[in-house]
Chains A and B, each alone.
Chain A
Amino acid sequence: MREREAELEAHGARVFAVTFESASRVREYRERESTPFPILRDPRRAGYQAFGIERRDNAMSLWRPKTFWYYVKSTLRGKLPKVARVDHYQLGGDVLLSSTGEVCWVYRSEEPADRPSINKVIEELDGCQRD
């Protein structure tokens, strides 16, 4: 998503990354990575829970073929997979809020490699703005 930030901005959208990790981990991440989006912390995971973004309780439910294949491809490209340092079982998700503050769309990942395409996000963004 960071590669197409300009496209999202052209659609008038603001993007925030949300993490449950600590302030020190956010600072450490900022020093390492160039992320164009502001990072918000949700230490109690209230947002994750409110939008139904799951935390699984076992590894078998996470390591599905799509995720396995994603890590194989990354490794073949020379990008070794990183291991989550804090919580292997938390999944991600995407939430779109309208300009009037209503929840337009929620995408809940079913496994680690499951994220919506940027085209899907833009499609939903367009739909949200038409409503």
Chain B
Amino acid sequence: MTTTIARSDAQHDTDLSSLRFVTEDGDEVSPGDWHGSPVILVFLRWLG
């Protein structure tokens, strides 16, 4: 059994602008700034 969030619910759940990730170059990026094309974030269990 997998938990998925329907589109209408997901949209209200997360404040993207508060999230920060670090690129391989060491820069900080926020998914809240990403516009123009869809983005798929694959959250890994671990680097195999």
Interface of B with A (CB < 8 Å)? 1-5, 7, 10-11, 13-16, 18-24, 26, 29, 31-48
Residues A92 and B42 in contact, CB atoms below 8 Å apart? yes
Selected contact of A19 from candidates B26, B35, B39, B47, CB within 8 Å: B47
Chain A, interface size category, equals 35 or more
Selected contact of B42 from candidates A17, A90, A102, A108, CB within 8 Å: A17
- Of chain A, the residue at the smallest CB distance from B32 is A101
Distance in Å: Cβ of B16 to nearest Cβ of chain A? 6
Additional A-B contacts beyond A52-B5, A110-B1 (5; CB < 8 A): A15-B42, A23-B24, A23-B26, A48-B43, A50-B19
8 A Cβ contacts from A92-131 to B: 92-110, 112, 114, 116, 121, 125, 127-129, 131
Give chain B residues whose Cβ lies under 8 Å from the Cβ of A18.
21, 41-44
Residues A39 and B24 in contact, CB atoms below 8 Å apart? yes
Distance in Å: Cβ of A114 to nearest Cβ of chain B? 6
